[in-house]
Amino acid sequence: MSSDFRDVFVMLSDAPEGQIDDGIRASLRQLVLMERVKSDDVLAILDVCAHTAGATDFVMAVLDGIWQAMLEEEGITREEAFKNAEARRLAFENPHMV
């Protein structure tokens, strides 16, 4: 992961309370501590933000930009990323089917 992304995760995790909720803040701080952050990790946070209104539109736009840059670095399309995320979600919800 580019150190530029790590710096942005730090800045976002320090955003005022009205910009980001504590759960998203904790998730971003976990990204900072990870040795290798993948696009899946950022997508998971974006999903939570979208479903819980855990961050402002600005924060989500920044995370989306990082996610798209990471996809490009990893050579993954958005469609592949969504398909992989859906497969993981289904496996998590239905472990007996794996």
State residue 92's pLDDT score: 54
Residue type, 48: V
Tens digits of residue pLDDT in 16-53: 989 999 999 999 999 999 999 999 999 999 988 988 99
Domain of 49, in residue numbers? 3-97
Quickly list H helices, 14-93: 22-33, 39-52, 57-74, 78-93
Tens digits of residue pLDDT in 52-93: 999 999 999 999 999 999 999 999 999 888 887 766 666 556
Based on the structure, what is the number of domains in the chain? 1
| Model pTM score | 0.82
pLDDT at 95 over 60: no
State residue 17's pLDDT score: 87
- Separation of alpha carbons 40 and 44, rounded Å: 6
